[in-house]
A and B are shown apart, each in its own frame.
Chain A
Amino acid sequence: MPAAGTASHCPYCALQCAMTLTPGGPAAGRTTPDAGPAGALGIEGREFPTNGGALCRKGFSAAELLDHPERITAPLVRGADGDLAPAPWDEVLDLVADRARSIRARHGADAVAVFGSGGLTNEKAYQLGKFARLALGTSRIDYNGRFCMSSAAAAGNRAFGLDRGLPFPLADLGGAGTILMLGSNVADTMPPFVRHLEGARDAGGLIVVDPRRSATARLTAEGGGLHLQPTPGTDLALLLGISHVVAADGFADEAYLDARTQGRDAVARSLAAWWPERVQSVTGVPAALIREAAHRLGAAARAARAGGPRVYVLTGRGVEQHANGTDTTTAAINLALLLGLPGTTAGGYGTLTGQGNGQGGREHGQKSDQLPGYRKITDPAHRAHVAEAWGVDESLIPGPGVPATELLHTLGMPGGARMLFVHGANVAVSAPDAARVVDGLRALDFLVVADFFLSETAAEADVVLPVLQWAEEEGTMTNLEGRVLRRRRAAEPPAGARSELWILAELARRLDAPGRYPVDPREVFAELRRASRGGLADYSGIDYADLDAGAERYWPCPAGAEPAGTPRLFLDRFAHPDGRARLVAVKPGPVPAGDAGGQRGPRRRAPGSGTGARGHVLTLLTGRLLEHYQSGTQTRRVAGLAAAQPEARAELNPATAAACGVSDGDSVALENAQGRIVVRAVLSPDLRPDSVFVPFHFPGTGSANLLTTTATDPHSFMPAFKNSRVTLTPLGAEVAP
């Protein structure tokens, strides 16, 4: 490892793998599968508890984007000819401020909205939330974490009184003998995570729940554990079935439930109705497998309490991105509580954050109902504290806004926003019912997008503001463990790009905004510490100097507390006032129309069998490929990654394909009330015959989110990404997607 490198972390997912960045270093010119034209910066994996020195190919190749030919290096303004053209910063900022001012004057402050990101540093996320409330005076700010963590956050807050993705260090998983992993495909989404599953696999105790035999589900093969493959949309019933067996067969930890929880009796009664055979008929998971999983968990938890290997229950987007995502996550938490795990040294429950700063991004004021430090925007004491930290009168802080899906689906409509700032997100590809979002973007009076590439969203903008990439900036990120990490600058940005902190400061000045807008991330972080002090996500005891010295800092980290920070939450008490965790009885709701499952439906015939040329109705599963991140704005521009996975595809079970008359590589159309996409079919026995998988990283006719519905969870407002019904029509081999 080169001695002179800069220690930082990966730009992509929440694992935030540690890496060493070396200008012109040995790795920079090396020919690797992904290197393409050598980047100016060398990247090497760095030893760190989360990634153990490993990186995946997304991280290895990230430097290619720094001096990428498509990088935007000057502000762009849409001219009278309709094209985006470079313009000087002063002129552009004047224009943006002028439009914000005039639209606010004409339509009210809430006509200007802000859409943030879980990819922004803590400093930028914090400053963006303050800018929205104080400089724009709008309540309308939300962020793409709503598509990510919101269901788990709602369920975690309901159960524990506090939500931190993993309430324990990730490396704790290494000591586990049994891990139940629901709806998370870490082997593709964050490959270095897989090393933490080795202990459980060696013990035969990795239990993966996924309707797809994903790369992670395959880790259970050859004695690694169990794969439960429910029909899509039935995770909640499956969890109730496992919990039923745990309770009925005497594996519940009664002493723990008595001492540390409330609500057990109501949950026990609700579970009595979900015996394994009933659950089998709902989920398609054999009753024997439900019992085996439950007995394995129950026996392992009992052993863990006596000092044996630990037991964990983990959830991911696969169970959370549903209209009942919060309740499904609650069912997973109930199971962990019945097993006596959370807040003990025997194991626990956690959710796997997706975005790089999905954790910090939601704690410091980008959420429509929250202020920094995970404070509530409706709580007078919380508002007063933040107002003081911001140096403004409390009355200047607007009330709660609207969650992401509502914000995006009302753009340009009566009562909706007329001007929108987008920072670090590509909603034209990543939001549900994407066509409706694009229509909304086009209906706006004015769209401002801050990005370093002309994303599909930026391409719709009136103004594009070129910003810095990860290796060009300083700041902090909070990883999936709630550990605060330093992002460090190792490369010079292009001359025309600017930090978002500078942009916000310049705009605030032009708007005569109350509050302070420093451009130095250290100063912003110092204010963030004060603003978060005493909140649930208390960062007041964290400073750059400690982090730079290698200190581990997990929030909450109140100033002056010893030891600093909280690697493991809830060991003494949960965060509800009485210190007890809540079990909350949940059950699957009536199956909504157009959703999967349910009653014996109308009989369908295969195309070509005489009647009914309407094609096959399947459940759409969306998800990720190893090679790409989010909407692909970055990874689709990395030559090696784009070459490996150049386009979207529809993965189909061969039996389904045969019934539809589709061969491997044929084009197929998938459509429903939201829209239609055309992609190539890839046949895979990993899919259940009732589902089709489409990765969501691609734009245009292959954009999976053209098909996702606008239904949202009533608690978290998470969109139901994972369970849309689509009709498949074969287009044959000749039609190019």
Chain B
Amino acid sequence: MTTLAMPGTWPAAARFLTALGNEIGKGLLFAWSEKLQIAMELPFFAVFILLLGPVLGAGRQIAAGHLSWTLNSHRISLLMVAFIPAMFFYFQAVKLFWRLLGEIQAGTIEQVYLSPLPSWLVAAAGRLVAAIIETLILMGIVYGIVRAFVTLHFHWTFAALVPMAFLIITGVGYSLIIGGMTLLWKRIQLLQETMLFLVMIFAVTALPLITVPGWFTGISRVFPVTADVASLYGVMLGHRGVTGPWGTGGLVWVAVTAAAYLAAGLAAFRVLERITKARGTLANY
């Protein structure tokens, strides 16, 4: 008697996990090959945070031609709350963009589309997981460098993982938008860079560092990192919980932002990908 194994759900799941694992492995191999560049990036970001502290709000002093460069522990702690998530977002998007562009140009992206799995999952998810792992390590190192210069006062709690999780979801959505735009227009590096700077700048508006007009706060809420930074500030410096529903850092807005960016990302990726495939320009242009 011969028994035939019926194709079931497990082989499909195994195939999915294998494909995802391959993409993650590829992304991490990319990261390892960029170790020299990463070593150059890290000190820069740490110095950037340290020097930005005394500069913010010092317009009058600068105009008068003198500026005190004393490192204020509280202010640097505040900036860390904004910049660590913003840089996490920045690195994730930048690395995804350049690696995706490389594959588009080399033609290997077309191979991804030979897979039976959904393209957005293979083209984006695997790379994103790799970028997230890499970026988490990088941000840990930046934190360590800054901490060597200034004492940072944070209230460490597991509740901080809630806004971080929403930040990752928002990042996935944003990266899918960028991924779709890269598939269609390819040369979007200028746009990508400027967008990310704006994201970082608006992230700072979530903190009680400077007084901004109401309309400015309104605009900043639409940007992807601002709500998560406000929530993180509440947890790590403001001695608040993450479950408060309202306000910029409220759970409702944080969740709505993440859901909206994810939905927009999925929709944008699908639409832009379809246009690219219809034009036959996935790799060739």
Same assembly = no
Could you tell me which A residues sit within 8 Å of B by CB distance?
A: none
Could you tell me which B residues sit within 8 Å of A by CB distance?
A: none
